[in-house]
Structure 1
Amino acid sequence: MRRAPLPAAVLIAASLVLAGCGGGDETTSEDSSPASQKVAGGSTLDSTWPLTGLPVSGDQSASQDHPVLVAKMDNTYSSAPQIGLSKADMVVEELVEGGLTRLAAFYYSQVPGEVGPVRSMRASDIGIVSPVDADVVTSGAAARTIARIKGAGITFFQEGAKGLHRDSGRSAPYNLFADLGEVSSTIKQDEARPDDYLPWGGDKDMPKGQPAKTIAASFSGGHTTNWSYRDGGYVNENTYAADGDEFPADTVLVLRVQVGDAGYLDPAGNHVPETKFTGSGAALLFHDGRLVKGTWKKGDLKSPLQLSTKAGKLTVPAGHTWIELVPSNGGNVTYKK
């Protein structure tokens, strides 16, 4: 049994100082002194989901008998259509070699059947999945990456494990899929609610910020993910998800991160990047057609993410969040009213 039950606690968020965002942004002036943000109250950890902050309904429990499962999914044209994104609680998009991106799709409140295409892990995933002690569903990884993943104490399930299978109607390597229900059935664990991934709050806690209805998150000269705010949520304009199976983003959180070299080449001879998901950097919180600028901080790979503005603590409105880990050097973020 790898985890012990957590006590109920009131949600709290940590404090940081404001940092500006990189050049090239298209924006109007942000309010110079946004209202101080209140800490979400009246809701205990046991009554909310850790990956969305949303209340638990009916006879469900936020303490499940399975860990958070993270499916590593391909994010290129070859993966279309992606399956299972609509059931994810949260998604993190990270840079991989060749300027492309890969998705870490987090599942906890729902454990769907088919998800994929499932692809390989990167060392970047250690900082992405460790805060909630997640297990990873993957096609595998380079030998040195597997050594680091194991060294970080992360459990993973790769091809050959129960629940992972190839779809004969698709071309390899874009044809590996996972039934997360079958994967989770092999895990023995005490019921325990993971820690909150983000400092959750409510819409009323979000500072006024400035209008921002479109977003373009560019990853180091390669892929750009485009978002538009429509009908109360954010639509990924260039998603590879199957029709009707798109991720229902209530919030897009862009974090500017340092990216280094993982120390090896992929089979095509490209240097494999490694996102350094520790330290601090600029944060852009997009919600309800508005943008609030701030900073993020993460003490070590396992630490929770902390957010702030110059007015104090910054919480993320409860809901489904897509996190963009955009490189500080070579990446760019633009937005318009």
Structure 2
Amino acid sequence: MRRNARMRRGVTAAALLIAAAVGGSLVAGCSTGGGSPDGRDEQQSRPPGDGGRTSAPPTGPVLAVKIDNVPAARPQTGLEQADVIYAEQVEGGLSRLMAVFATKLPKVVGPVRSARESDLELLRQFDEPTLAFSGAQHKLLPLIDKAPLTPEPPEKNTGAYFRGSGRAAPHNLYLRPRLLMASPPGAAALTTGFRFGAAPAGGTPQTTRTVRFPSARFTFTWSAGQHRWRVTMDGTPTVTTDGARVAPATVVVQYVRVRASRFHDVLGSNSPYSETVGSGKADVLRDGRVFHVDWRRASAEDGTRFTAADGRPMTFARGQVWVVLARA
């Protein structure tokens, strides 16, 4: 369950004061001009914690970044350092990603693209998260402003964004996360409801899994040597601009209701809404096996609980988690 609003506001305010104290030196040390996206973070990578059960209190909000995912936007930058990546369906049956950062911040992440209505429900599970995005349907913008999050589009924080060279707009907008927050908040800020630990008994051996959207597909292939699921999107192996292969420790195929939202894109196509509050079925891929589980999220403020067939909480492998929101 999330902390109460007063506590969250206190933590967020403290984080903002810290950020303000060091923000001047960060801005002075970074160029906001164009250039190629680059940079693997120097911080040592560590897996996400268990919803705060064994971690220090968070020092601020998570950073959620909307990531372009059409072929022209690939390879992306910074994906391998996200703690959680959500894949959702957008207009035309295509896909878009939301990368959530809590335990580390990459130097650069992107390309950054627009937000959707269903993002607001998905982000309610976090304590006043920071949302980095580039634009939205104009009737959606007031809802984003009223949501319990901190919106950080380019027009609000021009210094944190830049246009990269080598590809055309709109697939070349990048973010320097450390110009939005001084440091990552820590694993306890991941109030997703996920549990991490040893694999439960059972499951069925599986080394590859493909999830299809109407105009996109994700394939996850188990690598016993790497002990990770290698990601392939639309038939092409997923790597970042620095050559890192994107390979989460756990993949969740969460079956949800995908319905029409109230909004349309500039071409008049309806924006799909993936409902993440409620209950349903899911497949959890970990350790070269698939586990058929139930998911439940009682309210938007709650994280999602995954329950194995024996009634026990499903545990994830420590490391990055991908959640693909597939049509039920």
Aligned residue type for 1:150: D
Q: Secondary structure at the match of 1:291?
A: strand
Equivalent residue number for residue 213 of structure 1: 207
Equivalent residue number for residue 332 of structure 1: none
Equivalent residue number for residue 65 of structure 2: 71
C-alpha distance in 1 between matches for 2:327 and 2:169: 29
Q: What residue ranges of structure 2 are gaps of 5+ in the alignment?
A: 1-6, 13-45
> Structure 1 residues 62 and 171 mapped into 2: Cα distance closer, same or farther (>3 Å)?
farther
Q: What residue ranges of structure 1 are gaps of 5+ in the alignment?
A: 7-48, 329-337
Equivalent residue number for residue 270 of structure 1: 269
Describe the superposition over 1:233-261 as per-residue Cα deviations: whole angstroms up to 9, x where unpaired.
10012326335333330010110000111
> Structure 1 residues 320 and 172 mapped into 2: Cα distance closer, same or farther (>3 Å)?
same
Q: After TM superposition, give the deviation of residue 286 of structure 1 in Å.
A: 0.5
Where do residues 231-310 of structure 1 align in structure 2 (5 Å cutoff)? 231=225, 232-238=227-233, 239=238, 241-242=240-241, 244-310=243-309
Matched, 1:224 2:223: no
Cα root mean square deviation, aligned: 2.9
* Count of aligned pairs between the two proteins: 279
Describe the superposition over 1:213-235 as per-residue Cα deviations: whole angstroms up to 9, x where unpaired.
1010112x211101100121100
Q: Secondary structure at the match of 1:86?
A: helix
Q: Find the partner of 2:95 among 96, 101, 120.
A: 101
Q: Find the partner of 2:152 among 144, 149, 157.
A: 157
Equivalent residue number for residue 132 of structure 2: 137
Q: After TM superposition, give the deviation of residue 190 of structure 1 in Å.
A: 9.7
Q: Find the partner of 2:166 among 160, 166, 169.
A: 169
C-alpha distance in 2 between matches for 1:216 and 1:252: 11
> Structure 1 residues 267 and 55 mapped into 2: Cα distance closer, same or farther (>3 Å)?
closer
C-alpha distance in 1 between matches for 2:177 and 2:132: 8
Describe the superposition over 1:284-319 as per-residue Cα deviations: whole angstroms up to 9, x where unpaired.
010001011011011122211011123112232332
Identity fraction in percent? 29
C-alpha distance in 2 between matches for 1:68 and 1:3: 14
Matched, 1:199 2:194: yes
TM-score, normalising length: structure 2: 0.77
C-alpha distance in 1 between matches for 2:315 and 2:145: 32
> Structure 1 residues 149 and 275 mapped into 2: Cα distance closer, same or farther (>3 Å)?
same
Aligned residue type for 1:142: Q
1 or 2 for the larger relative contact order (CA 8 Å, sep ≥6)? 1
After superposing the two structures, state which structure 1 stretch, 260-269 or 70-79, moved more: 260-269
Q: Secondary structure at the match of 1:292?
A: strand
Are the equivalent residues in 2 in contact too, given 1:81–1:242 (CA < 8 A)? Answer: yes
> Structure 1 residues 99 and 52 mapped into 2: Cα distance closer, same or farther (>3 Å)?
farther
Equivalent residue number for residue 92 of structure 1: 86
Are the equivalent residues in 2 in contact too, given 1:83–1:245 (CA < 8 A)? Answer: no
Describe the superposition over 1:140-195 as per-residue Cα deviations: whole angstroms up to 9, x where unpaired.
2112222222332221100131311222432111111000011114x9x9999425
Q: Secondary structure at the match of 1:310?
A: coil
TM-score, normalising length: structure 1: 0.75
Equivalent residue number for residue 183 of structure 1: 180
